[in-house]
A and B are shown apart, each in its own frame.
Chain A
């Protein structure tokens, strides 16, 4: 299992997907030296693992807003 660094763990699914696509694009464009491409590969794999984990762990959580008589907002979990 790929170890996911903390800075990636903080990324939202959207940001991680975005960066992953960018990395693939960069690699596809060629003209990247070997060391850089291995760096990209590592980062890409970590991003992919992060996205996969987010999807695997995703559960639907439902909350309901309750407007209190004084107009304040609270929630009741369902």
Chain B
């Protein structure tokens, strides 16, 4: 049956209207299905169909997206594609009125597939050294400003604020983000970079510490915290990052790269702040320590002083006493014994010196005597007497002077002729010149 009152469209008009209706109603979608008809032509774009038991839908990932995909789908694998629903994507058929998903991201669907992907990504990041302990920064002891990246609604931010209020009230800067869904990873990474780089010229204080938090959920719910873009933003953060994602049993990649991992958001608030009440007690203790030390120091010095001043007269007395006794000792020893001993010693020394002198003198005299004897013999051997022995004689006058010339002789006097055997007295009768 043909109805007359229906509006008539051109093909372009109807295509445009369909496009508008479709995009207005869906826009961004997330579709779970099995990959089929996968094609990767040389253009670099990736074409595939998503299907389940009853239906099939086309999906395209442009080359620029393919380069960024964290996961490359395989034929037959169940995946979740996020993207824009549109018609007439093709340049060749601008008005072609079939619809498809322009893929932004693909993740494996199902826990098993996600776990496998998680393992693979973890290994890759680990090999890059992104999880190394030596990249971990210490958390500030007393943070004055804490940045929190989480959902502005929900229990997590309330729990953290409540705990901080109790323990260590400080400035909190909340950077609101969706904690799951397609933009979550991108916006979380953006917030991390923003805290580090965008606040420096603003009136907002750069936090001393960043908490990235989310409540518990399935592995799909927490998936944003496994995305490389988030992990790398944490790694790049100069501000220490404390991660508190999911429950204690959930582990996401952000926990490996963060400087400290808290099992829950409430625990994060506790881990990064001191307890105000304990601090107040500590302060009191420190004050008491100060006072005690100062007091004991003063007491020590005082008792030292007292001790010294008490000792002063006694030690003066003692000093004089000791001087006296020393003096006495000296005078006493001067008296007899030592003096006597010294004299004795001196005497002894004198005697021994004298004896030595004596004996050496005797020796000397003896030596001299021997020498003289010897010389006498020598002299004797060389004297005229030995010549007389050979028949000569010596003539002397009465003055016992050897006659050597005429003037030694007087007329009518005696002369003495000495021979070896006798002395002969003779009268001078005549003196003839020779």
- Interface residues in chain A, defined as those with a beta carbon under 8 Å from any beta carbon in chain B: 12-14, 17, 20-21, 23-24, 27-28, 30, 32, 34, 37-38, 40-41, 44-45, 48, 51-52, 55, 58-65, 67, 73-75, 78
Contacts and interface: CB of A to CB of B under 8 A. Distances in A.
Interface in B139-191: 140-142, 144, 152, 161, 164-165, 168-176, 190-191
B286 A65 contact: no
B286 A24 contact: yes
Given A13-B144, A48-B287, A67-B194, A60 B169 contact: yes
B202 interface: yes
> Chain A interface mostly helix, strand, loop or mixed?
helix
A45 B191 CA distance: 41
B286 A20 contact: yes
For the complex of A and B, 4 pairs with smallest distance between CB atoms: A60-B169, A58-B169, A14-B142, A27-B293
Contacts, number: 101
B129 to A, nearest CB: 30
B204 A14 contact: no
24 contacts: A13-B142, A14-B140, A14-B141, A14-B144, A24-B289, A24-B290, A37-B293, A37-B294, A40-B290, A48-B287, A51-B283, A55-B276, A55-B283, A58-B170, A60-B170, A60-B171, A60-B172, A63-B172, A63-B174, A64-B173, A65-B173, A65-B175, A65-B176, A75-B203
B279 A55 contact: yes
Contacts of A38: 294
B198 interface: yes
Interface residues of B, number: 39
B297 interface: yes
Nearest to A60: B169
Interface of B: 140-142, 144, 152, 161, 164-165, 168-176, 190-191, 194, 198-199, 202-204, 276, 279-280, 283, 286-287, 289-291, 293-294, 297-298, 301
Contacts of A75: 173, 203-204
B294 to A, nearest CB: 5
B283 A48 contact: yes
Contacts of B170: 58, 60-61
A58 B171 CA distance: 9
Contacts of A62: 161, 172, 174
B174 A65 contact: yes
A74 B203 CA distance: 8
Contacts of A20: 286
A73 B142 contact: no
B290 A27 contact: yes
Contact of A45 (B172, B174, B287): B287
Given A64-B173, A75-B173, A75-B204, 10 more contacts: A23-B290, A27-B289, A30-B297, A32-B297, A34-B297, A44-B287, A48-B286, A64-B174, A65-B194, A73-B204
Contacts of B287: 44-45, 48
B172 A61 contact: yes
Contacts of A37: 293-294, 297
Contacts of B279: 51, 55
Contacts of B289: 24, 27-28
A65 B203 CA distance: 11
A30 to B, nearest CB: 8
B290 A41 contact: yes
B146 to A, nearest CB: 10
Contact of B290 (A34, A45, A64, A78): A45
A3 to B, nearest CB: 16
A61 B171 CA distance: 5
A78 to B, nearest CB: 8
A27 B294 contact: yes
A12 B205 CA distance: 14
Nearest to A32: B297
Given A12-B144, A27-B294, A63-B172, A58 B164 contact: no
Contact of A64 (B152, B280, B293): B152
A55 B142 CA distance: 11
A21 B286 CA distance: 8
B286 A63 contact: no
